[in-house]
Amino acid sequence: MRSSVTAEVASHDPDDELCVVEFESIVKNVTGQVGSRMKLGRRTALEEQDREFIREKCAQMVQSRLHPCDDLRFRAQDRVVCRLAQLPSWVAGTIFLETEREGPDAPTGRRRIPYLVKLDPPNRWLIRLPGDDSDVVRAEACFECTVEALP
């Protein structure tokens, strides 16, 4: 399965623009999701539905990493939850800054990250997100509890 995902990521990045960390992050993420789907379906071999999921997810994630500042979903001061590599895996915060995409004549020649996020206490870290996709950042969902809703 990993080789299928690796080949699919590579096919969407023909100019090798992704750094090794970004490439491996996508492979790990998609491989984990496919593995979970197969486990739920009690399958041991890839089926066409898995291959289609790999194609779609890899295309989406590579696009998000290569062009992170096109059509951003969030604006400064929006509340979000972000996925971190360490536990807890999802933490709440506020979009601190949305960046703009640099043009081809940019002095650094590097892609810019889409967001800087200020995490809520106790962390209070300022983190940067590698892409604008739902596997990395989502809108915070709050559920209001009213007196009428209580038993």
Query: Which residue ranges make up each domain of the chain?
Result: 2-66, 79-139
| Whether residue 80 has pLDDT greater than 90 | yes
Phi, psi torsion values for 129, nearest 5 degrees = -105, 135
Give the whole-angstrom CA distance, residue 50 versus residue 30: 10
Q: Which residue has the tokens 């939850």?
A: 81
Read off the pLDDT band of 52 (50, 70, 90).
Answer: very high
At position 131, the amino acid (one-letter code) is G
Q: Which amino acid is at 8?
A: E
Scanning 1-151, the segments in alpha helix (DSSP H) are: 2-12, 20-40, 48-66
State the pLDDT at residue 113.
73
CA distance 89 to 32: 15
Its pTM stands at: 0.53
